[in-house]
């Protein structure tokens, strides 16, 4: 299938896991009803709350939330990238921030543990230390599907181009970037980084983001976005809960890579 429909879900997760799952399911159903064969949810879509409560709500994988997502993918007949959930089992009792991919049969195809952790202090705007409670992942992950080969990443990973080059050299034609990107950094860097990762790797980028005031007391940027392999913005979501729908055309991707074969010209890896 050279052309298929994909969707990126924008939502605002809270400490109410049941309510979050209900929102994610409603928007995924909306996307599937409109023809999406691939649906991508944002980072920490199923629960977002105080750091001190993270260990209590984290799950094993497979676990209740992944089973929920598998059933949903099977019922809708879609590939589902379940943005990320908090996974037990990291070093020193810390948690992994983990993205999971499900097949239209509901199988958990693969999972990716976020490699780069967001430790930042912007005075008067946002202060976050993910490494206080999270463990670094170690391995880039790609998964081959009947639609495309998907490379996985999460939010802050976006700032590290070497990860995306490894994903593309491993065959990725679509890269997912589920995020809870802050408004402070998003205004300056979200679009330019997404377009840059798409251009330099000649790849489709699907980036669902959280929006609005989050439980940590600062704003997320929203502006869920999809970018094509020439760097063209295929869509950018308005504020609020929404589904961004786009067409993925792998013939177009092949044309871009054929006419400007920079990936073949690369000398460093």
Average pLDDT along the chain, 269 residues, taken 10 residues at a time: 94 98 98 98 96 93 98 98 94 91 98 91 71 92 98 98 98 98 95 98 98 91 98 96 98 98 92
The closest of 64, 76, 14 to 241, measured between CA atoms, is 14
- pTM: predicted TM-score of the whole model, two decimal places: 0.95
Catalytic residues: 43, 114, 155
Return d(Cα 207, Cα 14) in angstroms, integer. 20
Where along the chain do its domains lie?
3-265
What is the number of residues in the chain?
Answer: 269
pLDDT at position 150, please? 98
pLDDT at position 78, please? 98
pLDDT at position 124, please? 66
CA angle 133, 15, 104 (to 5 degrees): 90
pLDDT at position 122, please? 67
pLDDT at position 133, please? 85
CATH classification (class only), 3-265: alpha beta
Return d(Cα 35, Cα 3) in angstroms, integer. 12
* Alpha-carbon separation of residue 157 from 18, 93, 230 (angstroms): 28, 22, 21
DSSP 53-87: GHHHH-B-SSSHHHHHHHHHHHHHT-EEEEEEEEE
Tokens 């589920």 -> residue: 178
pLDDT at position 65, please? 98
pLDDT at position 132, please? 83
Number of other CB atoms surrounding residue 56 within 10 Å? 7
pLDDT at position 269, please? 72
Q: In the structure encoding, which two tokens stand for residue 68, read together?
A: 């929920």
Residue 264: which H helix or E strand, with range?
helix 262-265
Residue 198: which H helix or E strand, with range?
helix 183-201
Q: How many CA atoms lie within 13 A of 77 on its CB side?
A: 4
The CA-based dihedral angle spanning residues 169, 173, 176, 181, taken in that order and rounded to the nearest 10 degrees: 70
């Amino acid at each position: 299938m050279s052309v298929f429909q994909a969707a990126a879900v924008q939502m605002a997760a809270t400490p109410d896991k049941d309510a979050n799952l209900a929102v994610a399911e409603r928007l995924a159903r909306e996307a599937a009803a409109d023809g999406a064969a691939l649906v991508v949810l944002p980072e920490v879509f199923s629960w977002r709350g105080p750091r001190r409560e993270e260990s209590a709500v984290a799950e094993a994988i497979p676990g209740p939330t992944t089973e929920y997502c598998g059933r949903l993918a099977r019922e809708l007949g879609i590939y589902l990238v379940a943005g990320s959930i908090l996974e037990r089992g990291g070093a020193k009792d810390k948690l992994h921030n983990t993205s999971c991919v499900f097949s239209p049969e509901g199988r958990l195809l693969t999972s990716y543990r976020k490699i780069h952790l967001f430790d930042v202090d912007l005075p008067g705007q946002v202060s976050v230390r993910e490494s206080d409670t999270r463990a670094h992942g170690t391995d880039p992950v790609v998964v081959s599907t009947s639609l495309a080969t998907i490379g996985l990443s999460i939010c802050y990973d976006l700032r590290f181009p070497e990860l995306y080059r490894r994903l593309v050299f491993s065959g990725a034609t679509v890269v997912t970037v589920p995020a809870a990107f802050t408004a402070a950094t998003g205004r300056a860097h979200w679009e330019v980084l997404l377009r840059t990762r798409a251009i330099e790797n000649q790849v489709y980028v699907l980036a669902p983001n959280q929006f609005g005031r989050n439980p940590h007391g600062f704003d997320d940027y929203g502006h869920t976005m999809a970018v094509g392999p020439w760097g063209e913005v295929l869509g950018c979501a308005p504020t609020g809960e929404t589904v961004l729908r786009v067409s993925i055309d792998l013939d177009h991707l092949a044309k871009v890579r054929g006419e400007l074969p920079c990936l073949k010209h690369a000398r460093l890896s």
